[in-house]
Amino acid sequence: MFKFVATALFAASLAVAYVTPAVAEEPIVIKFSHVVTDDTPKGKGARLFQKLVQERLAGQVKVEVYPNSTLYGDAEELDALQRNEVQMLAPSVSKFDQYTKQLEIFDMPFLFDDLEAVKRFEKRDKSRELLGSMASHGIYGLAFWNNGMKQLSANRELRKPTDARGLAFRIQASNLLEDQFKQVGASALKLPFSQSFKALQSGQVQGTENTWSNLYSQKLNTVQPYITESNHGVLVYMLISNSKFWNALPFGVRTQLEQISDEVTQFVNKEAEAINSKDRESILGSGTSKLVTLSPSERQAWRESMQPLIQKYEPEIGADVIRAAQLVNR
């Protein structure tokens, strides 16, 4: 009997061994979800990431891109990443407020003089440390992707800080951004990006802040008759993955994905400026919105009204991080 069972098991294992090699191994699937359109800096970055993976890791890794909140909106995408239902995201760092306060550095108004200063900061060791600031939440930071400088828009002309008094602004989920608008006597409503247009159109809020590319690609300019070119803050993304997923990737695959991520980061950070300036021209050309250009002293008044936030937020961001950011302005 024993001999019979052993022989049967042996035969079965041979059959399995015979069948297994014929079954092709499934590629590792990386779902990359985001909330903007394909023709924005982040949207183009996600597509390039997909293309390079297809070229270099075909059969081993497959990237599926879900743009424009089609899979998850920004209120759900981070939970989905932690459950490993998506493996890659590039949320604005403002949306990480619930996990770390240090990244609020990028939300501080008038801290960075321009995008060049932001890029210099991103090369500093302090920034590299910030990529690891959500490790305890299972979030692995790969790189910073820039969109651009933010502008203010509203249904009335915003030239002086007092012009914003009494208005409600749609903001991302960041306490610092909420305080930014309180500083000028306005209120702020944290809403998912996908709800921005409706909230402005219906009058639930009367203003917002965003980059030229986000204003244009979501048609926010069509419901905002005034755009103040304030360049008061910056919109930065962090390319992230689920730590467990990332660390379980075969070493060779992970190394190649990290190489691709570096290449795409360079592309996004170069391309973003061109996209924003093209979208700025398209908005101005469309005639939907009047451009409000601030004189140096008008811009200084906005800066001064928001200055107290540095002191208020220093304990949670860290004096060392703030100092490192201040040093990159020239």
| Residues near ligand LMR (CB under 6 A) | 35-36, 42, 74, 92, 147, 172, 193, 210, 214, 235
Minimum CB distance to ligand LMR smaller for 213 or for 261: 213
Strand ranges for the chain from DSSP E: 28-33, 61-66, 88-89, 139-154, 168-171, 187-190, 207-210, 226-242, 290-292
Minimum CB distance to ligand LMR smaller for 35 or for 154: 35
∠ CA 231-326-103, nearest 5°, is 75
User: Residue 196 CB, nearest distance to ligand LMR (Å)?
Assistant: 7
Minimum CB distance to ligand LMR smaller for 61 or for 108: 108
**Cα separation of 171 and 205, whole Å?**
10
User: Residue 283 CB, nearest distance to ligand LMR (Å)?
Assistant: 16
The two counts, helices (H) then strands (E), for the chain are 13, 9
Minimum CB distance to ligand LMR smaller for 36 or for 283: 36
User: Residue 300 CB, nearest distance to ligand LMR (Å)?
Assistant: 26
Q: Are 120 and 112 in contact (CB under 8 A)?
A: no
Q: Is 110 left (phi over 0), alpha (psi -120 to 50) or beta?
A: left
Minimum CB distance to ligand LMR smaller for 31 or for 42: 42
User: Residue 297 CB, nearest distance to ligand LMR (Å)?
Assistant: 29
Minimum CB distance to ligand LMR smaller for 28 or for 104: 104
User: What are the distances in angstroms from CA 283 to CA 114, 200, 288?
Assistant: 21, 17, 7
User: Residue 93 CB, nearest distance to ligand LMR (Å)?
Assistant: 9
User: Residue 122 CB, nearest distance to ligand LMR (Å)?
Assistant: 17
Smallest CA-to-CA distance from 184 within 202, 201, 207, 214 is with 207
Neighbours of 237 (CB within 10 A): 25
Place of tokens 């020239």: 330
